[in-house]
Amino acid sequence: MATKHILIVPGDGIGQEVTAVGKKVLDKIAAKFGHTFTYDEALIGHVAIEATGNPLPDETLEKMRKSDAVLFGAVGHPKYDNDPTAKVRPEQGLLKMRKELGLYANLRPIKLFDELLGASSIKPEVLKGADILFFRELTGDIYFGEKGRKNDGDTAYDVAQYSRFEVERIARKAFEAARTRRKKLCSVDKANVIETSRLWREVVQKIAKEYPDVEVEHQFVDATAMLLIKDPRKFDVVVTANLFGDILTDEASQIAGSMGMLASASIGDGTGVYEPIHGSAHDITGKGVANPLASILSAALLLDISFGMKAESEAVISAVDKVLKAGFRTRDIADAQTPANKILGTDAIGEEVLK
């Protein structure tokens, strides 16, 4: 019986709808297992810019630091996407949060619920049994290096950068995880071209010596983008830099049937942040059709990783599994065989999970 304080940060677009469902699931778990969870809410992204002019208000950051874990939605707004010259952007809030909270390790587990084998564009016989855990570095690379314009704005540049220390700490986390799984680690880089990648490979090769029981493989990012689709079962733990991780994990969402199913944990020096890997999806915002399962599964990760509540976390995952087994789907994970009356909206599928 524990007392924990959880900050809900819905952010933009469908972030609102899906975190509301995620929170209900946390509430239910607290009731069922006799914990006391208290909550607060805070702004980030476009909604924060609208309210305060700042994509990550100090107040939000303060609240994050003081909470035991953060359940996060999504950030982004089409307005900025179509205006490449905008100076203040929702994503700055997300990136600043990652940096300020020292969230250097982003864990993205890709595991297909058997019931969703048909929902993917990849053949079931290629997918069946695939189970990958990505470690994406989250506070370095081209995301955080110097960037700007020169030659009167005619030339744009971005600096990608990694220090040994930054690579070491994420590599260690990935090796530790591999030890608890199938003991295989694939490190992804572009060491044939990029200097940051050569440092990355050097460091991973060095750390590998501390984990002789883990089988290590180095792949180029282009080859990996292909192999993930061709033979997803060959991967166990994958560790990679921020930008490559961004691209490869979105791609890998097809292995899990839909992006709407994928949760992620961002951890590091302090409070952990848990969020779906999908974005703000303004095209479906407010329509009540967004898939909340990624937010629910993010809550499960939160329980497991930040609170060490394994049984509680498994209860959530098995509830999701039961709902899928009962044939319920949101639109994004439905297939031609799904009867119309089993296709539920955001809240309705949330209610099924709560049951």
Report the DSSP pairing between strands 36-41 and 3-11: parallel
Instruction: With contacts defined by CB under 8 A, name the span among 59-67, 83-91, 301-309, 322-330 that binds a copy of itself.
Output: 83-91
Is there a contact between 315 and 355 (Cβ–Cβ < 8 Å)?
no
Cβ proximity to ligand IPM: between 143 and 175 the closer is 143
Question: From CA 314, how far away is CA 332, in angstroms rounded?
Answer: 24
Residue selected from 246, 321, 351, 352 as contacting ligand IPM according to rule CB under 6 A: 246
The residues, any chain, with a CB within 8 Å of residue 136's CB and separated by 6 or more, are 105, 106, 107, 108, 240, 241, 242, 244, 245, 246, 249
* Of residues 213-232, those binding ligand IPM (CB under 6 A): 222
Catalytic site positions: 143, 190, 222, 246, 250
Report the DSSP pairing between strands 184-189 and 237-240: parallel
The reply on whether position 180 binds a copy of itself by CB under 8 A is no
Residue selected from 88, 193, 226, 348 as contacting ligand IPM according to rule CB under 6 A: 193
Question: From CA 117, how far away is CA 290, in angstroms rounded?
Answer: 20
Number of residues in contact with a copy of itself under rule CB under 8 A: 68
Cβ proximity to a copy of itself: between 58 and 152 the closer is 152
* Of residues 102-131, those binding a copy of itself (CB under 8 A): 121-123, 126
Provide the residue type at 47 as one letter.
Answer: V
For residue 335, say whether it is annotated as part of any ligand binding site: no
In the chain, what is the greatest distance between 2 CA atoms, to the nearest angstrom?
A: 63
Residue selected from 24, 173, 190, 329 as contacting a copy of itself according to rule CB under 8 A: 190
- Which own/partner contact pairs does 217-222 have at CB distance under 8 Å and 24+ positions apart? 217/184, 217/185, 217/186, 217/187, 218/186, 218/187, 218/188, 218/189, 218/191, 219/186, 219/187, 219/188, 219/189, 220/188, 220/189, 220/190, 220/191, 220/192, 221/188, 221/189, 221/190, 221/247, 221/248, 222/190
Question: From CA 203, how far away is CA 186, in angstroms rounded?
Answer: 14
Residue selected from 1, 34, 53, 154 as contacting a copy of itself according to rule CB under 8 A: 154
For residue 98, say whether it is annotated as part of any ligand binding site: yes
Q: How far is the CB of 300 from a copy of itself (least distance, A)?
A: 22
Residue selected from 76, 272, 276, 350 as contacting ligand IPM according to rule CB under 6 A: 76
Q: How far is the CB of 209 from ligand IPM (least distance, A)?
A: 28
Q: How far is the CB of 75 from ligand IPM (least distance, A)?
A: 6
> CB atoms < 10 A from the CB of 226, how many?
12
The reply on whether position 239 binds a copy of itself by CB under 8 A is no
For residue 329, say whether it is annotated as part of any ligand binding site: no
The reply on whether position 218 binds a copy of itself by CB under 8 A is yes
Question: From CA 157, how far away is CA 99, in angstroms rounded?
Answer: 21
351 binds, among ligand IPM, a copy of itself, none (CB under 5 to 8 A by kind): none
For residue 213, say whether it is annotated as part of any ligand binding site: no
For residue 198, say whether it is annotated as part of any ligand binding site: no
Cβ proximity to ligand IPM: between 75 and 353 the closer is 75
The reply on whether position 94 binds ligand IPM by CB under 6 A is yes
Helix or strand run (H / E) with residue 196: helix 195-208
Cα 16 to Cα 53, 234, 243, 319: the distances in Å are 19, 36, 26, 22
3-state secondary structure of 147: strand
Binding residues for substrate: 98, 108, 136, 222
The residues that touch a copy of itself, with contacts defined as CB under 8 A, are 76, 80-82, 84-85, 89, 91, 95, 121-123, 126, 142-143, 145, 147-149, 151, 154-165, 190-202, 205, 218, 221-223, 225-226, 228-231, 243-244, 246-251, 253-254, 259, 279
The residues that touch ligand IPM, with contacts defined as CB under 6 A, are 75-76, 91, 94, 192-193, 222, 246
